[in-house]
Amino acid sequence: MDVPMPAGSGGRVGAAAAPWKAWVEERRRPVIAGAFVLAALLGVVIGLVTAPDSKAPPETGDTAQAAPARSPQLPPLPWANSRSPGTATNLTVGDDLRPALTWAAADDALAKADKPTLSEVFLASGGTAATSASPQGGTQGAALTQQSITIPAGKLYYGAVQGSDATLDEFWAVGVTETPPGTPVAVPGLHVWKRVGSGPWTVVATGAGACDIVPQNLFGVGAWTSRPPICDLA
C-alpha cells in the first residue's frame, strides 16, 4: 500500500533554499569579477615580494658621464677570497687614486657651476680630448682642469667596506683639495668620494659635515684614526 508523504516537508525545504539560490544568482557576476581582480592583485604582490634584488647599483647621470680615468683598475684586494661583509679596511693610496679623485672633483665642481664637465667633453670627443681641454669645448683654455686640483700629501684617507661580493664593495676616500688662486670655478676644500665595485669615483659630499656620510666603522681603522682631523675642515 502506498503511504502518502506528509505534505509540506519537501515544500518547506524548497522554499527555504529558494531565497539563498536567488541571492547567489543575483550576485554571481560581481562575485566572479571580484574574485578575478583579487587573484590578479595577489599575483602582482607575490611577484614583487619574490623578485630577486638587483645587485648592480643604479646608474646615475653622473656615473653615466664618467670618463674612464675615474675608474682606475682595482688592485688585488686582501679580502677577495675571504669576505666578511660590513668589515672596514684601511687601504694604501696608489699612484692612480689622486688623478681619479681630482678628475671626479673637477667634474663635480663644473656640474655645480652649470658648465660641461671634463668627462662630458672627453666622451663627446670620442675619448681623444686631453684632460686640460676646455670644458666649454673652445680653445681659450679651461675654466677648470684636472691638473688645477691637488690633494696634498697627508691629507687623503682611503679605505673600504667589504660587500657580499665584488660588485658591492664600497671604497671611500676623504681628502682636502687645493686650487690655485683665481680659479674661475669654485672647488670646495673638503671632499668625500665613494666608489662601488669597479664603478667610477663620485663626489658624495663636500664642505662642513661631509664626513658624516662616511661609514662610522672606518673611523679608527689604520690611518683613519678615531676621526681624521681633516674632517673638521670646511
164-198 pLDDT, tens digit each: 999 999 999 999 999 988 888 989 999 999 999 99
Task: Give the strand pairing for 88-90 and 202-206.
Answer: unpaired
Please report which confidence band the pLDDT of residue 206 belongs to, taking 50, 70 and 90 as the band edges: very high
DSSP state of 230: G
Summarised one tens digit per residue, pLDDT across range 55-84 is 434 444 566 789 999 999 998 899 988 999
- pLDDT given at position 26: 65
Nearest to 150 by CA among 110, 99, 113, 185: 99
Summarised one tens digit per residue, pLDDT across range 101-137 is 999 999 999 999 999 999 998 888 887 654 443 433 3
- pLDDT given at position 225: 83
- Residues pairing with 170 in the sheet: 161, 196
Is residue 207 within 8 A of residue 219, CB to CB? The reply is: no
Query: Rounded to an integer, what distance in angstroms lies between the CA atom of residue 227 and that of residue 219?
Result: 5
Is residue 162 within 8 A of residue 83, CB to CB? The reply is: yes
DSSP state of 124: H
Segment 140-165 mean pLDDT? 84
Query: Rounded to an integer, what distance in angstroms lies between the CA atom of residue 233 and that of residue 71?
Result: 27
Is residue 94 within 8 A of residue 101, CB to CB? The reply is: no
In the block, cell 665613494 appears at 194
Task: Give the strand pairing for 156-161 and 202-206.
Answer: unpaired
Helix (H, G, I), strand (E, B) or coil at 213: helix
Helix (H, G, I), strand (E, B) or coil at 22: helix
